[in-house]
Amino acid sequence: MNRRQIELVRLSFERIEPVHTLFADLFHRRLFLMAPAVQRLADSDPERRDRALFATLREIITGLDRLDILLPSLASTARGLSFQGVTAADYDAVGASLEWTLHQVIAQAPGVVLAWMETYELLAGVMKRAANDPTVLPPPPPPRRAFITHSYSDRPPATHTAPLPPPSSRLA
């Protein structure tokens, strides 16, 4: 996955978002047709299920620049899904359903579909390995603390409370 692929995924996602209900409906119908067992894991309410799909996609696409945070998060999710019975074959069915849906929605852009699928293969590969091996990736780093900055006109906070002795007594 390179910068150009990330850019293609992001730009195409912006084109998919206006038709997200159609996209999600096609995706889930295809997925449940290919892997009926996966349907038990999905929300029974189609609207909530579709919103959850797009919230997940948005979070992943936003995180493509920060794989150091995204991959451990996905690994942790995969470990939880493995306890619910998700298998490597389920990830393959999701990938096939995603590819089919992308061809239906953005058929005129085969390079875009390829970028999505290479991105999916990378992320799903991490998730498959993490489901079987808890040492694949450590947990994500803690969130970065915000720096407090002061403008030049602000007086810096005092660093000491006792007054300094006169210069002549410090030399002795």
Asked if residues 54 and 28 have their Cβ atoms less than 8 Å apart, the reply is no
- Spatial distance between the Cα atoms of 78 and 72, rounded to a whole number of angstroms: 10
What digits encode the pLDDT tens for the residues 118-152? 999 999 998 988 888 877 666 555 566 655 555 55
Q: Report pLDDT for 82.
A: 82
Instruction: Return the number of other C-beta atoms located less than 10 Å from residue 78's C-beta.
Output: 22
Of residues 31 and 40, more confidently modeled? 31
Domain ranges of the chain: 3-132
SS3 94: helix
Q: Report pLDDT for 96.
A: 95
Structure pTM? 0.74
- Spatial distance between the Cα atoms of 48 and 51, rounded to a whole number of angstroms: 5
What is the DSSP track for 127-160?
A: HHHHHH-TTSSPPPPPPPPPPP---TTSPPPP--
For 149, which DSSP code? -
Domain spanning 3-132, CATH architecture: Orthogonal Bundle (1.10)
What digits encode the pLDDT tens for the residues 7-27? 999 999 998 989 999 999 999
